[in-house]
Amino acid sequence: MRRSRGYDPLHHSSENSALLVQILDTAREGGLAVFDLDGCLFDNRPRQVQIIREYASLYHCWELYKVEIHDFEDWSFPRTLKKAGVPDDVISLHYPALRQYWESCFFTSAYVRYDHAMPGAAELVRRVYEAGMKVIYLTGRDHQMREGTEQSLRRFGFPYDEPGVRLLTKPRADMEDTAFKEEAMETLAAYGQVRIYLDNEPSNVNLYKKYHADALVVFVETDHSPRPVEPLSSIPWLRSFLARPI
């Protein structure tokens, strides 16, 4: 099973640059460019670290301060803590409460403000928009997270308060992400034809490739759910939004 290798926002390679060029070339054809947010246009790891450090401070669990953004490779909390060097007994003692604290913070407008845009992501989306596409942000975040999400999109320079740009959020937090993104296809069809689709969840890219075979569907390689699904072999992988080496 081919799994993503975790975030590498400063990655540069000729293959990666060629894919960015292909995205811009496709943008000239018009239609819809659909972008996922978490783990795609935005790096969520600062939000994760913030929540863990708040918990560490509140409950005097100083070992949790060892967790840094590079320790997040997937969605497994225990694995992340272990990688950071948090002792096993501390993990088993604090994990249930930490998980509960995390859940009360992570899915809120207040905390999405800790995320930052992936380097080069806002520039790419703006260029896609300026080439003549409509831009849709299609996210598993729910309606309650709209306010913080809108602020983040504006703050990092993504096209937002402009004609032909829309943010689609989930009506209910308990709705499964892929099911929501499947349902959203009906709404998208009213706006235009999906020509570009970027997401870091294998099930979502596979779904969009199935329904939009001619679109440029791109798997963004950061982290994703532990579901045993692999992106279809016809789907290219993007590791970063950097067009030039730094």
Applying CB under 5 A, the span of 27-35, 75-83, 148-156, 195-203 interacting with Mg ion comes to 195-203
For the purposes of burial, counting CB atoms within 10 Å of the CB of 152, is it exposed (0-12), middle (13-18) or buried (19 or more)?
buried
Chain centroid to Cα 10, Å, comes to 16
Give the HSE-up count for residue 115: Cα atoms under 13 Å, Cβ half-sphere.
Answer: 26
CA–CA dist 85, 82 (Å, integer): 5
Q: Which of 31, 32, 38, 218 binds Mg ion (CB under 5 A)?
A: 38
Applying CB under 5 A, the span of 35-43, 53-61, 119-127, 130-138 interacting with Mg ion comes to 35-43
39 binds Mg ion (CB under 5 A): yes
* Residue 33 C-beta: closest distance to Mg ion, Å: 16
* Residue 159 C-beta: closest distance to Mg ion, Å: 19
Q: Which of 36, 43, 142, 223 binds Mg ion (CB under 5 A)?
A: 36
Say which residue the tokens 């943010």 belong to: 167
202 binds Mg ion (CB under 5 A): no
Say which residue the tokens 């407008």 belong to: 109
Binders of Mg ion among residues 71 to 110 (CB under 5 A) are: none
Indicate the residue among 64 and 149 with the shorter CB distance to Mg ion.
149
Q: Could you tell me if 12 and 246 are in contact, meaning their C-beta atoms sit under 8 angstroms apart?
A: yes
Residues contacting residue 60 through CB under 8 Å, at least 6 positions apart:
none
Q: Which of 80, 200, 203, 206 binds Mg ion (CB under 5 A)?
A: 200
Indicate the residue among 26 and 204 with the shorter CB distance to Mg ion.
204
